[in-house]
Amino acid sequence: MMQINCPWCGLRNATEFKQHGEKPPRPDVANATREQWADYLYFRNNTWGVVKEQWFHSSGCRQFFMLHRDTFANKAIRSEGDVR
């Protein structure tokens, strides 16, 4: 099983976590066009290889964090506590 290093709890099984995925920047609410909203809500890079995405330690400390993960090798590389 893939193991993920939670910045607060340490190495845990992937089943404890929920993927929240790529985190595109939120468009400017006052001026964003339809296309920008569609891009933010639906369109994803779906990268083959290393991605940086948001994960949630749902069955643990319930904190969000950023994870660098290889989507082909199915391997967690490193985690960052800073979600911004």
Partner 1 sequence: MVNNINPGKKRSRYSAFQLFSKGLTQEDWPEIWSEPDMKDSYEVVIIGGGLHGLATAYYLAKNHGITDIAVIDKNYIGAGGSGRNTSILRSNYLTPEGVKFYDRSLKLYEQLSSELNFNLMFSQMGHMSLAHDDGGMRTMQWRAQVNQVQGVDSKVISPDEIKELVPYIDISKNTRYPVLGALYHPPGGTIRHDAVVWGYARAAHEMGVHIIQHTEVTGIDVENGRVTRVRTDKGNIATGTAVNCTAGWASLISDMAGVKMPVTTSPLQAAVTEPVKPFLGTVVVSGTLHVYVSQTDRGELVFGASVDPFTSYSMRGTLEFVEGLATNVLSLMPSLSKMRLLRQWAGLCDMTPDYSPIMGETEVEGFYVDVGWGTYGFKAGPVAGEAMAETIATGKRPEIIQGFGLDRFSSGQLVGEKGAAAVGH
CA distances (Å), origin 9, targets 12, 25, 66: 8, 27, 14
Q: Does 43 bind partner 1 (CB under 8 A)?
A: yes
Q: Does 35 bind partner 1 (CB under 8 A)?
A: yes
Q: Does 83 bind partner 1 (CB under 8 A)?
A: no
Q: To the nearest whole angstrom, how small is the minimum distance from the Cβ of residue 26 to partner 1?
A: 17
How many residues bind partner 1 (CB under 8 A)? The answer is 22
Q: Please list the alpha-helical segments (H only) found in 1-84.
A: 34-41
Q: Does 41 bind partner 1 (CB under 8 A)?
A: yes
Distance CA 51, CA 63 (A): 20
